[in-house]
Structure 1
């Protein structure tokens, strides 16, 4: 049993590689804990403040047809990404796209200074327990699993493992998933990702998530 998702997209507004510099990063106690390659760009991008989510949200489009994008969600200083994530219980991606569109119609594209780390993330997760919590039990039990239409042998699922990889760079994003920032609130146009931020690769027409996660250089990554 297997499932694979693969995405590769070229940014419509790429970061200039020559502007990427190594920067020191700090923990919550303002102690230096390492460094990252910080990408930089200044341009007219789709961006809005979302007070209801305690965040600022930036849209980075891919290609030229407007079909795919990355939504980057920068929590306000002091707001944990898990707090922002829980707000999706009441906030839909369609409403986010609608507000971005409304702000575009009212204000036009805003000139935004964006600083984001170049990163590569890899994760591996055993999904037996989450599937149990969703009500799937028999498939994992040798005495109760029923896969007689697949083979004559007594089959059952020992485990379901989900693996995910994503590479985000100056010009493109590559994401593969298989299953067997700190925002300095200086002004409304400056976004710097140093404390954790959320990101979602989206298909805009259907508001469907292709790939998503939380980036943190100094905390756990989900």
Structure 2
């Protein structure tokens, strides 16, 4: 009996340790995500925006590992990981546990992602550092920066070998001598658990924060018992739309209350954390005795974002990395100083009516029922695709103009 108790206690301790590793990085990545989204939106000139924070965070981790001094401290503050985490050896094991939990494989989604660093072939990193970068799922890709034709040919070969690199095109690779280009990208297309009915998709007006019509967009309709609550601290109504992947991924859409701008609603995250909002959402839903159907009306989301994150990262305090007055030294990465001019981030998402489960009465329910709860996203909103076990934001975006 005593041995049984000891075994149970050891198992509990192990589980708590693994959970702590996941939560450790999830909280840091989510805090980084909210700041990254805020400053990226400030530079987007009012366009729709989508970002993949985990791929950006991963690339920055590798740069922090290769840096020293002020550059290392600036990156560490931005991504919420101090250099002491590397010295103690904790981060690698935590990261491996985190990534393993996020390697989602499902016939119901198309998820492609890449985190890499293109570099002048004459500035290849030290072998020890190359191996260190691989621990963080980041690859160095050497290019002949003096030969644009060869860059195109090399890229085609890479695209044929690595499916994810189809997210990269040669227009992104205007490299200069002695230059390094961090690059992250993600493509996502997921199937809903409960699909939107294509028969009811129609052009409808889309409004700005002040209620002015700014265009029309294809609006999708779906009536189901979706989890939905009012999050007063954010001044927003939230709804959760699950993806068909064993309840591991879902989209959370936050629509500001009437009269509240998206900018003001999003700034309210400064008063709380995403994890706390997620927990409040789930607790409120669990406390609801009888879930009610809600009619969700929202645009198709087909967004492509290509962003140079330089301005965003400088606003987050990472400025020495992009100092145009001097070459930077990343002594753990390369013996010779190198130049970083831009940090390219590309994301493409395609979310339409498709799903894998359909109620036989779906058409008649949407067509004939009047009244009840509604969630009509016909004005600017923010959305997050969340890995629910760790509450990690996989990607997120602002939808502000009809497309």
Contact persistence 1:12–1:63 (CA under 8 A)? yes
In terms of fraction of residues, the more helix-rich structure is 2
With over 3 angstroms needed to count, the CA separation of the structure-2 counterparts of 1:137 and 1:192, relative to structure 1, is closer
In terms of fraction of residues, the more strand-rich structure is 1
SS in 2 for 1:57: strand
Contact persistence 2:235–2:265 (CA under 8 A)? yes
Could you tell me which residue of structure 2 aligns to residue 136 of structure 1?
318
Contact persistence 1:202–1:210 (CA under 8 A)? yes
Give the C-alpha shift of residue 160 in structure 1: 1.3
Q: In the aligned structure 2, how far is the partner of 1:50 from the partner of 1:188?
A: 19
SS in 2 for 1:99: helix
Structure with max Cα Rg: 2
Q: Which among 264, 279, 289 is matched to residue 107 of structure 1? A: 289
Q: Is 1:76 matched up with 2:260?
A: no
Q: In the aligned structure 2, how far is the partner of 1:148 from the partner of 1:92?
A: 35
Could you tell me which residue of structure 2 aligns to residue 183 of structure 1?
none
Contact persistence 2:205–2:378 (CA under 8 A)? no
Contact persistence 1:47–1:110 (CA under 8 A)? no
SS in 2 for 1:194: coil
Normalised TM-score (structure 2)? 0.46
Q: Which among 178, 200, 212 is matched to residue 396 of structure 2? A: 212
Could you list the per-position Cα deviations for residues 138-194 of structure 1 after superposition, in whole angstroms to 9, with x for gaps in the alignment?
A: 43347441245555654211211222322221126xxxxxxxxxxxxxx87111111
Q: In the aligned structure 1, how far is the partner of 2:257 from the partner of 2:210?
A: 17
Normalised TM-score (structure 1)? 0.79
The CA RMSD measured in Å over matched residues stands at: 2.6
Unaligned 5+ runs, structure 2: 1-116, 118-182, 356-370
Q: Is 1:145 matched up with 2:328?
A: yes
Q: In the aligned structure 2, how far is the partner of 1:135 from the partner of 1:30?
A: 36
Runs of 4+ in 1 over 6 A off after TM superposition: none
Unaligned 5+ runs, structure 1: 173-186
Q: In the aligned structure 2, how far is the partner of 1:196 from the partner of 1:29?
A: 10
Contact persistence 2:228–2:240 (CA under 8 A)? yes
Q: Which among 119, 127, 141 is matched to residue 309 of structure 2? A: 127
Could you list the per-position Cα deviations for residues 94-136 of structure 1 after superposition, in whole angstroms to 9, with x for gaps in the alignment?
A: 2233233323333343210111011322223222233334443
Give the C-alpha shift of residue 45 in structure 1: 0.9
Contact persistence 1:40–1:114 (CA under 8 A)? yes
